[in-house]
Amino acid sequence: MNLNDLSSLMERRQDGGRSFELFRTDPALANLRWPDDVLRDFLFEHGDHGPFVDDYGHLELSAITWTLQTIPTVNFHTMPTGESEAGLIEHVAQHPVHWVKVRPPEVGRHWEDHGTWLRPPLLIDRRLLNPANSGLQVLEGRTRVGVLRGRLREQLHVAPQHQAWVGRP
């Protein structure tokens, strides 16, 4: 099953103003045993977003296992994102304070208090991609990773490690 196989589910979500609670119980997702955070960010929020589908539409969704992991800050320094969104992380990194200010206030407080994001981003093992590669790639959460890079550059408080959902084969 890939994103194209779920196109009718995505249409129903849009047309019916479907809530995430209804979406996550749809029979089309029964074989996916993904955490709710991943289902929400990957499929519910981005499953029909054109550039996202261009980059990840080929993935065999049922072959991905997601775990919440702690990733060292240094690993995010050069971590890429999908080809269709290339440059977005660095664009955000140029103005990290702005990108935090346009979010709800608790996001900024969390960065100040903890030096990290409020919600873990989604990273994908690049062996799952076509062409396959090594390392991790930012699947969803490009703004968060951009803020992290920008805060580092501006010498603002950044934790030494961060939580992220990591999808692996």
Inform me whether the pLDDT recorded for 16 exceeds 70: no
17: left (phi over 0), alpha (psi -120 to 50) or beta: left
Give the single-character DSSP code of 18: -
As a whole-number percent, the residues of the chain with pLDDT over 70 amount to 98
pTM of the model: 0.93
Give the single-character DSSP code of 39: I
pLDDT for 15: 60
Q: List the single range of 10-24, 76-90, 137-151 with lowest mean pLDDT.
A: 10-24
Inform me whether the pLDDT recorded for 163 exceeds 80: yes
CA dist., res. 63 & res. 158, Å (int): 33
pLDDT for 19: 84
pLDDT for 131: 87
Structure tokens at 88: 């977005």
Residue with token string 């961060």: 162
CA dist., res. 28 & res. 80, Å (int): 30
pLDDT for 22: 86
pLDDT for 110: 97
Give the single-character DSSP code of 71: E
Give the single-character DSSP code of 102: T
- Per-residue pLDDT, averaged over 130-140, amounts to 93
Give the single-character DSSP code of 49: -
Domains of the chain, by residue range, sit at 3-62, 65-168
